Amino acid sequence: MKRRLLLLLLFPLIISVHAQQLTPRQLYPGLFEEVQLGRIYPDNKTFVDALPKEDPETIMQAYAQQKNTPGFQLKAFVDAHFLPPTAATTLYKSNVAAGLRAHIDTLWSVLARPADAGGQISSLVPLPHPYIVPGGRFREVYYWDSYFTMLGLKEDGQFALIRQILNNFSYLIGKYGFVPNGNRTYYLTRSQPPFFSLMVGLLAQSQGDTVLVRYQEPLLREYAYWMAGAESLAVGQADRTVVKMPSGQVLNRYWDASDQPREESYVEDVTAAKLSSQPAATFYRNVRAAAASGWDFSTRWFDESGKLASIQTTNLVPVDLNCLLYNLEKTLARTYELQGNAEQARSYQEKAAGRKEAILAYCWDKKAGWFQDYNWVLGQRSTIRTLAGVFPLAFDVATRKQARQVAAGLKKDFLKPGGLVTTLNTSGQQWDAPNAWAPLQYMAIRGLENYRQKELASTIASRWVTLNSNVFQQTGKLLEKYNVVNTTLEAGGGEYPLQDGFGWTNGVLLKVMNQYKMTGKEAARKFR
């Protein structure tokens, strides 16, 4: 109890510390807005990742002196003072003839980054150990991506790199009190789906339970971040990431500490806010909370209109998030069991049991036969079915009967020629139909295997491997997302072009191929 109280008391200090690290918008006021709104770069993420050639104060002095002079050209000024970043895979050319496994093996080195030296004035938050970036425009580590990348690293026996990535996240938790969305200053206001406990568990599978005890402190600190403010909540109230349900149980939501446009998507947010009836600050907060979920964007977060303008992420208690926190509570209980601390072990087991009961009560829709998010403001479940509904199977929260119903729904509605579609809505958003994503395929397969729905799990795996293999044979690339409805077309939607690399695709693909003893070519021939 004393440890938990201390961590909660430290939370405001944690926030003040990371607020001291200035973002590009804070470093270059006025210039930032002109560059982003003027589309000096087609992708707003380019400027926020650029490396300044001089210190920010010198650049801002030069801008103030030159911006109103005749013939001033903003693009020329930016080119003179900033070095734009390059994509992680720009120079890499794949060897299709070598096959999928060789491609993935090579990509680990292409996507690997050494420990950051620090000292440079940029948005990058230095990390003390090597890490893997996703690829394409994503030139930094990403929190939930990394777990699925680690699945592949484990298959390749790269335990030293897994441990280094874990130690980076432990470092970030120690510095900020949570794992940021990514190691950029403009990401320091939010986290992402809390997969840290699964990462620790992944390493423990190979190196023993002492790993769990070794990372107990960062696990506790992450839990304190997600539960901060819970003890003072009244029923029907929310504060940051916590919501007190009618039953008195505390569940969680996604949240971002800022109510400003995302700097990496500044034009998109400013433009979209004008179409919303919400106050701009509310709209930006909901957009940022969706970014914290990793599902940016999906009709999952919208009202019945299905439009981005209606985004209401902070009104929703997400089923996947609460399953992940259930796993964190179970993991913490196990760390105390290993230490012989029965009282604390029992405390976290009780927390997990209470959360499980609440997930079943609020997120299970008996009529739909599906686990759905809960709108705590309206006091009702969402009507939108998404692949987030497989998470209770992945973490053994569902009953056997519920798992059978979810499996039936997956087979009937979500299963497509290339795998599982993310939602049943075709909206133009990238986390909707017809798109599919590697992490959700894996969580569905894991959940189905847990409940002995092996035939469906194998079918999903086969179709996913086939699609990945066929696209690789045609393009030499593994992609961020795929169109599973029409497998001859690229996935679309989103705020940026389709990215290749791609960390979590590589990791899940290698894990699934090994689990089901497939090679890409064999799967493609067999299941075409």
Tell me, what amino acid is at 510? Answer: L
Distance CA 491, CA 489 (A): 7
Residue 192 CA to residue 256 CA, distance in Å, equals 10
130: exposed, middle or buried (Cβ count in 10 Å: 0-12, 13-18, 19+): middle
Task: List the catalytic residue out of 263, 296, 365, 495.
Answer: 296
Rounded CA separation 126/118 (Å): 5
Please give the structure tokens belonging to residue 128. 């003390």
| Cα atoms found within 13 Å of the Cα of residue 24, Cβ hemisphere only | 28
Amino acid letter for position 43: D
Annotated active-site residue 296? The verdict is yes
| Residue 411 burial (10 A CB sphere; 0-12, 13-18, 19+) | middle
Determine the Cα–Cα distance for residues 507 and 439; give it in Å rounded to an integer. Answer: 9
The 10 Å Cβ neighbour count of residue 151 is 25
Per the structure block, which two tokens stand in for 373? Answer: 């998010």
Radius of gyration from C-alpha coordinates of the chain:
23
DSSP 379-392: TEE-S--BGGGGHH
| 449 is annotated as an active-site residue | no
Category of 121 on φ-ψ map: left (φ > 0), alpha (ψ -120 to 50) or beta: beta
Catalytic residue among 256, 480, 495, 500: 480
Residues taking part in catalysis: 296, 480
